[in-house]
C-alpha cells in the first residue's frame, strides 16, 4: 500500500467510534504502513502520544498538508485482533460502499455496560424415568404443556427458564404448578449473561460417521493440515448428515488449537440444533441471536476476544466474533437471503466470510440442500471444492409430487384457490387425522400480471423479468412497469397471446386462504403464520409448537413455515401459487422459487408416513417448477445459468444497484440523473451497461422519495471503481452520506 497520508481512527475501544484523523506518513514508513496496523500518533493540543489504527492510506489530502501532524511509529507486535476487524471493515467498505463508520459499526460490537442479569433454571426433582412417566401421565390427561416440559426434563436434568417459557412455550403458571407438585425446582443464580441453554450435560457422544461423511471431514482436515485454505461446498439434502460433518470438522479445528464460527440463519437456529452443539462441545460454545440484548452480545464478543470460547454459533452477525485463532467458518444454508444485510453496508456474509478466512488463514465451508447459483457456479469453475451427500440418514422417503395446472382448472370451471386434487387430498387428510401445510409466498408478490387462460406473463422486452402493476391514486391499475429499467406500458385488457380477457394481477394472501378453509372445511382446526400473526416476540415458536402438538389440522403460512421444525404428522404440503415467486420481477425469481419449492416439498413425509406435495401453478412447464418437482438441482442449475449468462446477470456478470433517497422529489430525481450520467460516462471505456434510472418500486417511504438505477459489468472491480467515483462525487457535493445506497448483486429489486 502506497500513499503519503494515513487516515487514522483513535481510541476505538471506547463506546463512540469517532471519525478518522488525517496524518502524514514519514518517509521512513512509506510503504511499510498497512491498513489495520496500530500506530502511535501525537494527538490533541498537548500532542500526547496515543495509539491509533490506520484506516486508510491515500494520496488525497483533505487538509492543508503543512498543518498535518506526522505518524510517530508502528506499534510492534503486528496487527492485533482489533486490527483484523478494521481490515475487515475496510474490505466491506471497499466492496459494498458505505462510510467507514458504518462499516466499523457493522464489524465492531457496541460496548455497553449492563447490570448482570439473574438466570433462572428449572431443575427436575425426580429421576429421569419418573419424569418420563409423569410426562406420559400428563399426556393422557391432555396437559400438553406439562407433558412437554417433563418429557424434556427426562432427557435433561435442568433447563433454563427462558428456554422453557420461550421455545418450549410453557407458561410460568405451569412451572409453578409443577413446583407445587414437587416435580421441579426453580433455581435462581446470578449468572454471567449467556445464551447457553443452561446446564446441559455434555455427553460428548458422537455418531460414527458414514463413509461419505468421513471422506468429507478427512479431506478438508487433510487440506488444513497441509496448509491449504480454500472454500468448500457440501451439497446435501436436509437430513443427509451435514450437521454431523460440521461438528466433525469443528472438532478437528479445535484439536489444532483454532476456533470456529458456525453460521446458521436465525430462522433455522432451532433449539434442537443448539442442543446438539452443546452436548458435543459444552461450555466452549456461545450463541449469538437477535433476541440478545446489546449487553449480552457484548459479553459474547468479549468472551470470544478473551479466548474463553472456541465456537460461536449464530446468524450473520456471529461472523464478527473477534477470534484471535479463527481456523474455520461454516455457513449452513448458504443460499439463504438473510445472509445479505439489508442496511448499509449491504454486505453478503458469504463473501465477507471469504475475506475474513483469507485474512485469518482459515477455511470456509458452505452447506446447502439447494446451493446458491453463485456458489455452484464457482464450484463448476473449480474455485470451490464440492462434496455431495445423497441419501437421507434419518429415514423418510422423498414425497410424491403433483404439479397442478391452474389453467386447466379454470377451463373446467374451477375458479377456487384450491385445485380439485388439492381439495380432495385435504379432505382425505382431515379424515385420516394427518396434518397439512399450505404455503403461499407473499414476499415474492410484486403485482405481476398473467393470463389465467394460457399462463402468459407480461414481461419487460429488455430485461426479461416480469412487469408489475402500478395503481394510481384512486387504486386503479394504470400501467405496467419494469423495476430494472423503468420500461412502461399501459395496462392490458386482453391477453396478447390468446386474447382471453382473464389477464390480471395476481392476488392472494394467507388471510383469504384461512377464511376460505373455514368456509370449505368448517370442522378443520386452522393455524395461520405470517408477518401479522408473528409480531410478538415468541409467537413464531408458539405457533410451531402448537402445530407440533397436534392442536391444529392445517397450518397456513408464508415462507416462514418452510424452515426449521420437522413435523412427523405432516403428510400433505400444498403450494398454492408457485407463480407468486416465479414472477417477482427480479433476476433471482427462478432461483428463489426452485429453493422454496424444493424445501417446501421436503416438509412432507418426514416421519414414517409417506408424504404428498401439490404444486399449483399457471406455468407447469416452467423449468423452476419442473426441476423442483423432480428434485433435480443439476437440471435446474443448467437452465438458470444459461439465462443469467444470456442476460448478463450475476454470477456470470455483476450488478450494482444505486438507490438515491431524498426528502424532495426534484432533488432526488436530479441527483439520480447526475449520478447515472456520471456512471454512463465512466462506463464508456469499460463497456458497463446502465439500466434506468427510474423511480423505485416503492417510490416513497415515510415521505422519502426513492430513485434507482443499475450498472452491469462482467468485472466486479469495474463496478467498485464506478462506486468509488460516485462516492467521491457525493463527498464533494456534501450530500448526506446515507442518501445514496449501493447494493451489489442485489437479492431483491428496488
> By CB under 6 A, is residue 336 in contact with ligand ADP?
no
> Residue 697 corresponds to which cell in the numbers above?
418500486
Phi, psi of 125 (to 5 degrees): -105, 5
**Measured between alpha carbons, how far is residue 163 from residues 272, 300, 317, 541, 589 in Å?**
12, 18, 22, 11, 37
> By CB under 6 A, is residue 98 in contact with ligand ADP?
no
Residue 93 C-beta: closest distance to ligand ADP, Å: 34
User: Which residue, 341 or 368, has its beta carbon nearer to ligand ADP?
Assistant: 368
Q: List, in order, residues 6 or more apart from 685 with CB less than 8 Å away.
A: none
SS3 413: coil
Q: List, in order, residues 6 or more apart from 668 with CB less than 8 Å away.
A: 660, 661, 662, 705, 706, 707
SS3 190: strand
Is the CB of residue 6 less than 8 Å from the CB of residue 22?
yes
- Residue of the chain from 240, 370, 419, 741 that contacts ligand ADP (CB under 6 A): 240
Kindly indicate which of the ranges 235-243, 554-562, 578-586, 596-604 contains the residues binding ligand ADP, using the contact rule CB under 6 A.
Answer: 235-243
Residue 109's closest CA among 262, 291, 318, 258?
Answer: 318
Residue 707 C-beta: closest distance to Zn ion, Å: 16
**Measured between alpha carbons, how far is residue 572 from residues 157, 225, 529 in Å?**
36, 47, 17
Residue 355 C-beta: closest distance to ligand ADP, Å: 26
User: Which residue, 234 or 465, has its beta carbon nearer to ligand ADP?
Assistant: 234
Kindly indicate which of the ranges 179-187, 233-241, 682-690, 740-748 contains the residues binding ligand ADP, using the contact rule CB under 6 A.
Answer: 233-241
> By CB under 6 A, is residue 268 in contact with ligand ADP?
no
SS3 457: strand
> By CB under 5 A, is residue 271 in contact with Zn ion?
no
> By CB under 6 A, is residue 243 in contact with ligand ADP?
yes
Residue 334 C-beta: closest distance to ligand ADP, Å: 13
Select from Zn ion, ligand ADP, none the partner in contact with residue 463, using the beta carbon and a kind-dependent cut-off of 5 to 8 Å.
Zn ion
Kindly indicate which of the ranges 239-247, 285-293, 518-526, 610-618 contains the residues binding ligand ADP, using the contact rule CB under 6 A.
Answer: 239-247
Select from ligand ADP, Zn ion, none the partner in contact with residue 207, using the beta carbon and a kind-dependent cut-off of 5 to 8 Å.
ligand ADP
Interface with Zn ion in residues 445-504 (CB under 5 A): 451, 453-454, 456, 460, 462-463, 482, 484-485, 487, 495, 497-498, 500
Select from ligand ADP, Zn ion, none the partner in contact with residue 24, using the beta carbon and a kind-dependent cut-off of 5 to 8 Å.
none
d(CA 159, CA 143): 19
User: Which residue, 247 or 465, has its beta carbon nearer to ligand ADP?
Assistant: 247
What is the per-residue DSSP string for 3-40?
-SEEEEEE-TTSSS----EEEEPPGGGTTT--TT-EEE
Residue 494 C-beta: closest distance to Zn ion, Å: 8
Beta bridge partners, 326, equal: 259
Q: List, in order, residues 6 or more apart from 295 with CB less than 8 Å away.
A: 112, 113, 114, 193
Residue 592's closest CA among 489, 383, 444?
Answer: 444
Q: Is the dihedral of CA 597, 507, 571, 246 positive or negative?
A: positive
Residue 209 C-beta: closest distance to ligand ADP, Å: 5
Mask for 369-398, x = binds ligand ADP (CB under 6 A): ------------------------xx----
Strands (DSSP E) found in 542-688: 554-557, 570-575, 612-617, 654-662
The separation between the first and the last C-alpha atoms of the chain, rounded to the nearest angstrom, is 36
> By CB under 6 A, is residue 239 in contact with ligand ADP?
yes
Residue 393 C-beta: closest distance to ligand ADP, Å: 4
Strands (DSSP E) found in 468-618: 468-471, 477-481, 488-490, 503-505, 526-529, 554-557, 570-575, 612-617
Select from ligand ADP, Zn ion, none the partner in contact with residue 238, using the beta carbon and a kind-dependent cut-off of 5 to 8 Å.
ligand ADP
Residue 237 C-beta: closest distance to ligand ADP, Å: 7
User: Which residue, 171 or 219, has its beta carbon nearer to ligand ADP?
Assistant: 219
Q: Is the dihedral of CA 566, 570, 571, 574 positive or negative?
A: negative
* 604, HSE (Cβ side, Cα atoms, 13 Å): 28
Residue 560 C-beta: closest distance to ligand ADP, Å: 19
Residue 273 C-beta: closest distance to ligand ADP, Å: 8
User: Which residue, 326 or 482, has its beta carbon nearer to Zn ion?
Assistant: 482
> By CB under 6 A, is residue 209 in contact with ligand ADP?
yes
User: Which residue, 72 or 333, has its beta carbon nearer to ligand ADP?
Assistant: 333
Select from Zn ion, ligand ADP, none the partner in contact with residue 484, using the beta carbon and a kind-dependent cut-off of 5 to 8 Å.
Zn ion
Long-range contacts for 665-670 (Cβ within 8 Å, ≥24 apart)?
665/705, 668/705, 668/706, 668/707, 669/705, 669/707
User: Which residue, 106 or 243, has its beta carbon nearer to ligand ADP?
Assistant: 243
Please give the residue ranges that form the binding site for Zn ion (CB under 5 A). Answer: 451, 453-454, 456, 460, 462-463, 482, 484-485, 487, 495, 497-498, 500
Please give the residue ranges that form the binding site for ligand ADP (CB under 6 A). Answer: 207-210, 213, 236, 238-244, 393-394
Amino acid at each position: 500500500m502506497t500513499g503519503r497520508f494515513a487516515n487514522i481512527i483513535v481510541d476505538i475501544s471506547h463506546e463512540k467510534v469517532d471519525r478518522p484523523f488525517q496524518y502524514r506518513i514519514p518517509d521512513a514508513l512509506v510503504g511499510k504502513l498497512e491498513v489495520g496496523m496500530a500506530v502511535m500518533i501525537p494527538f490533541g493540543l498537548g500532542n500526547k502520544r496515543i495509539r491509533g489504527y490506520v484506516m486508510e492510506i491515500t494520496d488525497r489530502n483533505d487538509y492543508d498538508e503543512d498543518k498535518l501532524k506526522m505518524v510517530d511509529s508502528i506499534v510492534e507486535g503486528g496487527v492485533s485482533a482489533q486490527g483484523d476487524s478494521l481490515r475487515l471493515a475496510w474490505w466491506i467498505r471497499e466492496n459494498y460502499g458505505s462510510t467507514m463508520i458504518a462499516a466499523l459499526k457493522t464489524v465492531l460490537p457496541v460496548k455497553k455496560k449492563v447490570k448482570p442479569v439473574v438466570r433462572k433454571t428449572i431443575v427436575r426433582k425426580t429421576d429421569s424415568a419418573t419424569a418420563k412417566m409423569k410426562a406420559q401421565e400428563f399426556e393422557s390427561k391432555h396437559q400438553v404443556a406439562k407433558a412437554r416440559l417433563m418429557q424434556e426434563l427426562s432427557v435433561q436434568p435442568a433447563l433454563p427458564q427462558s428456554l422453557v417459557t420461550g421455545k418450549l412455550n410453557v407458561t410460568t403458571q405451569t412451572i409453578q404448578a409443577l413446583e407445587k407438585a414437587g416435580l421441579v425446582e426453580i433455581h435462581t443464580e446470578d449468572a454471567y449473561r449467556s445464551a447457553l441453554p443452561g446446564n446441559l450435560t455434555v455427553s460428548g457422544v458422537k455418531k460414527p460417521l458414514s463413509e461419505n461423511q468421513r471422506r468429507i471431514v478427512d479431506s478438508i482436515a487433510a487440506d488444513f493440515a497441509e496448509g491449504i485454505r480454500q472454500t468448500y461446498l457440501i451439497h446435501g439434502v436436509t437430513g443427509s448428515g451435514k450437521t454431523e460433518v460440521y461438528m466433525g470438522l469443528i472438532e478437528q479445528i479445535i484439536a489444532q488449537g483454532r476456533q470456529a464460527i458456525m453460521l446458521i440463519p436465525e430462522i433455522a437456529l432451532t433449539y434442537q440444533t443448539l442442543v446438539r452443539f452443546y452436548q458435543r462441545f459444552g461450555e466452549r460454545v456461545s450463541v449469538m441471536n437477535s433476541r440478545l440484548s446489546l449487553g449480552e452480545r457484548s459479553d459474547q464478543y468479549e468472551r470470544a476476544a478473551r479466548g474463553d470460547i472456541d465456537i460461536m454459533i449464530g446468524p450473520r452477525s456471529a461472523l464478527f466474533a473477534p477470534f484471535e485463532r479463527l481456523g474455520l467458518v461454516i455457513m449452513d444454508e448458504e443460499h439463504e437471503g438473510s445472509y445479505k444485510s439489508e442496511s448499509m453496508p449491504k454486505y453478503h456474509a458469504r463473501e465477507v466470510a471469504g475475506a475474513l478466512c483469507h485474512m485469518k488463514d482459515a477455511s470456509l465451508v458452505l452447506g446447502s440442500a439447494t446451493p446458491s447459483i453463485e456458489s455452484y457456479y464457482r464450484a463448476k469453475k473449480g474455485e470451490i471444492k464440492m462434496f455431495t451427500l445423497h441419501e437421507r440418514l434419518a429415514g423418510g422417503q422423498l414425497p410424491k409430487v403433483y404439479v397442478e395446472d391452474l389453467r386447466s382448472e379454470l377451463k373446467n370451471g374451477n375458479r377456487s384457490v384450491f385445485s380439485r386434487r388439492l381439495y380432495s387430498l385435504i379432505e382425505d387428510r382431515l379424515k385420516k387425522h394427518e396434518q397439512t401445510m399450505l404455503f403461499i409466498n407473499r414476499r415474492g408478490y410484486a403485482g405481476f400480471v398473467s393470463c389465467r387462460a394460457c399462463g402468459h406473463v407480461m414481461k419487460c422486452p429488455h430485461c426479461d423479468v416480469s412487469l408489475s402493476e402500478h395503481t394510481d391514486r384512486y387504486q386503479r391499475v394504470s400501467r405496467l412497469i419494469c423495476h430494472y429499467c423503468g420500461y412502461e406500458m399501459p395496462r392490458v385488457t386482453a391477453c396478447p397471446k390468446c386474447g382471453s380477457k382473464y389477464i390480471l394481477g395476481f392476488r392472494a394472501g394467507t388471510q383469504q386462504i384461512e377464511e376460505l378453509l373455514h368456509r370449505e372445511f368448517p370442522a378443520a382446526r386452522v393455524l395461520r403464520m405470517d408477518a401479522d400473526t408473528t409480531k410478538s416476540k415468541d409467537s413464531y415458536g408458539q405457533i410451531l409448537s402448537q402445530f407440533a402438538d397436534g392442536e391444529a389440522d392445517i397450518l397456513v403460512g408464508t415462507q416462514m413455515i418452510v424452515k426449521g421444525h420437522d413435523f412427523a404428522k405432516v403428510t400433505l404440503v400444498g403450494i398454492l401459487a408457485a407463480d407468486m415467486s416465479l414472477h417477482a420481477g427480479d433476476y433471482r425469481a427462478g432461483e428463489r422459487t426452485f429453493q422454496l419449492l424444493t424445501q417446501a416439498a421436503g416438509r412432507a413425509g418426514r416421519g414414517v408416513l409417506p408424504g404428498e406435495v401439490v404444486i399449483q401453478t399457471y406455468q407447469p412447464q416452467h423449468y423452476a417448477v419442473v426441476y423442483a418437482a423432480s428434485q433435480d438441482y443439476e437440471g435446474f442449475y443448467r437452465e438458470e445459468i444459461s439465462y443469467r449468462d444470456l442476460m448478463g446477470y450475476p454470477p456470470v456478470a455483476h450488478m450494482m444497484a444505486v438507490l438515491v433517497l431524498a426528502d424532495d422529489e426534484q432533488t432526488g430525481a436530479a441527483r439520480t440523473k447526475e449520478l447515472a450520467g456520471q456512471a454512463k460516462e465512466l462506463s464508456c471505456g469499460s463497456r458497463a451497461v446502465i439500466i434506468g434510472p427510474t423511480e423505485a418500486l416503492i417510490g416513497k417511504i415515510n415521505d422519502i422519495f426513492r430513485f434507482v438505477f443499475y450498472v452491469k459489468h462482467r468485472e466486479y472491480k469495474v463496478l467498485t471503481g464506478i462506486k468509488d467515483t460516485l462516492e467521491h462525487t457525493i463527498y464533494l457535493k456534501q450530500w448526506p452520506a446515507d442518501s445514496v445506497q449501493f447494493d451489489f448483486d442485489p437479492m431483491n429489486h428496488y
